[in-house]
Structure 1
Amino acid sequence: MSLKHKAFITGASSGIGQSMVAAYLAAGYAVEGIDCSPSVFASEPDYVHHQMDITDSVRLNGVFEAAEYASDNNVLINCAGTREICRIDELSLSLWERVFAVNVTASFVAGRAFCEQLVRHHRPGNAVNIASVSGLMGEPDRTAYVSSKHAVIGLTKQLALEYGKHHIRVNAIAPGVIRTPLTEPYYDNPAQMEKIQRGQFLPVLGETQDVAKAAMYLTSSDARFVTGSTLVIDGGWTIGKDL
């Protein structure tokens, strides 16, 4: 029986990426995850895990060259990401380059390789890049991260422009504060939580499944006329300030 649905997910072993894997497996997709850490889904029959450094461009490109593609829908979710929190005068060039290597270059390598394989094999598909509200605004002490997430949104538009003629859609999601292992320390800090809740305009907190459900929409036929867009999921973080 031919493969009907396939998803590739980077950053698949934790946080938003792990929720993406769960969502696509539940929807009947065969999933290939890419992460430097092991996966809790390793024993799932429809899951294949590639444990690797996402910045190894040769290996990353090879994952897509060797993969089998589905007949009905193929999906790429670029979730892998990293950040720094330090003053701009303390930001080293090596840390700047590391943040861009993970957040931007890996998304470019994976995105282009995925789209080129769809064109080569004449298969349908679409991609979603996980950006951030930090790709829409500035934030203190996150110069590399903010700059990289702005670049992810630009990359999304460019991939959508270049591959749209092949019926390939590419969109981005810009989450606000989402509870993940990376942000977990916030939830043990009352002052930080007060700042987060004051900065939003909905009295709820963001969860990883909020982002996964948005990706499921963007990669479905319901979004057939949506490309090059950025879907903001932030509880109102970017709509204004509480003056």
Structure 2
Amino acid sequence: MTTLDGQTALVTGAGRGLGRGIALALAAAGARVVLVSRTGAEIESAAQEIRSHGGEAVAVPCDVLDLARFEAVLDGVGPVDVLVNNAGTNAPMPFVAVSPDTFDTIFDLNVRSTYFLTQAVVARMIAAGTGGSVITVSSQMGQVGAADRSVYCAAKHAVEGMTKALAVELGPHGIRVNTIAPGYVETPLTAPYFADQEFRADTLRRIPLGRLGLVAEVAAAAVFLADPAAAFVTGSSLVIDGGYTAQ
């Protein structure tokens, strides 16, 4: 199905893991995809994969913390119909060990950049009067709490609250704002943790479905939230966690 024909989707952190999977899925659904990441080689590789399947993709190296550079990216790629805020980071550690620098690093990438990148894209959507869809990759940790995740949980809860507020404010402009909240998914970022068999077994015990999530399952959720089929969905969090947060 090519349900996003004629639309442009911009995905941050698109070079690997969830971001790459989401970019590929949006392209498969017919969108022209703008892939943004600090690592040019990774997003160009993803863009080439999209083109090899007949899709349209543009790779634009950009540090999402550089807001002036991001504004220039938007000026260069034209109107954006779908924004996927995927860039993020985590640094699990005990609460008493968290330094101000660690706190700032996690909040800057997960919250501050998401806020102001969304602001830049939405300003253009409002000016164009075309509406749009904003999707932020949150986490199951935006729904619950966990040991050694105090900063990450705080950041993702902030993203969830911001999403609800923006859904209310931007609804009259036809702009929908939602989050995807993945649970444990094996990606390049999480693979080192799951290499620890004790950690892996303990994690699987906590997931009612008894397995890790797949990148493709998260990507499918992004396509749904971008699609006209989700035209009445805003201010929501689509939790994809195998039942982890249901307990």
Provide TM-score, normalisation by structure 2.
0.90
Matches within 5 A, 1:110-149: 110-149=117-156
Tell me the equivalent position of 2:46: 41
Matches within 5 A, 1:217-232: 217-232=224-239
Partner Cα distance (2:94, 2:193) in 1: 19
Partner Cα distance (1:147, 1:16) in 2: 21
- Of 23-32 and 61-70, deviating more is 61-70
Partner Cα distance (1:12, 1:143) in 2: 26
Shift of 1:209: 0.8
Tell me the equivalent position of 2:186: 179
- The one of 70, 73, 81 aligned to 1:63: 73
Kept in 2, the 8 Å contact 1:65–1:117? The answer is: no
Give SS of 1:76's match: strand
Shift of 1:129: 0.6
Q: 1:64 corresponds to which letter in structure 2?
A: L
- The one of 199, 206, 219 aligned to 1:199: 206
Question: Size of the alignment, in residue pairs?
Answer: 235
Give SS of 2:184's match: coil
Kept in 2, the 8 Å contact 1:60–1:109? The answer is: no
- Of 32-41 and 94-103, deviating more is 32-41
Give SS of 1:232's match: strand
Tell me the equivalent position of 2:241: 234
Q: 1:99 corresponds to which letter in structure 2?
A: I
Which string of whole-angstrom CA distances, capped at 9 and with x for unpartnered residues, describes residues 99-145 of structure 1? 11100111111111111111112223111111101111111112211
Partner Cα distance (1:147, 1:123) in 2: 33
**Gapped runs of 5+ residues in structure 2?**
none
Q: 2:16 corresponds to which letter in structure 1?
A: S
Give SS of 2:46's match: coil
1:167 equivalent to 2:171? Answer: no
Shift of 1:208: 0.8
4+ residue stretches of structure 1 with deviation over 6 A? Answer: none
**Gapped runs of 5+ residues in structure 1?**
none
Kept in 1, the 8 Å contact 2:29–2:223? The answer is: no
Partner Cα distance (2:176, 2:76) in 1: 22
- Of 162-171 and 182-191, deviating more is 182-191
Q: 1:224 corresponds to which letter in structure 2?
A: A
Partner Cα distance (2:165, 2:75) in 1: 22
Shift of 1:64: 2.5
- Report the structure, 1 or 2, having the larger helix content: 2
Shift of 1:159: 1.5
Which string of whole-angstrom CA distances, capped at 9 and with x for unpartnered residues, describes residues 57-94 of structure 1? 22123322443126xxx111110010111122221101
Provide TM-score, normalisation by structure 1.
0.92
1:109 equivalent to 2:140? Answer: no
Which string of whole-angstrom CA distances, capped at 9 and with x for unpartnered residues, describes residues 180-232 of structure 1? 10110233222111111110100232011111101111111111111000111
Q: 1:15 corresponds to which letter in structure 2?
A: G
Kept in 2, the 8 Å contact 1:69–1:123? The answer is: no
Partner Cα distance (1:210, 1:42) in 2: 20
- Of 117-126 and 222-231, deviating more is 117-126
User: What is the identity percentage for the equivalent residue pairs of Structure 1 and Structure 2?
Assistant: 35
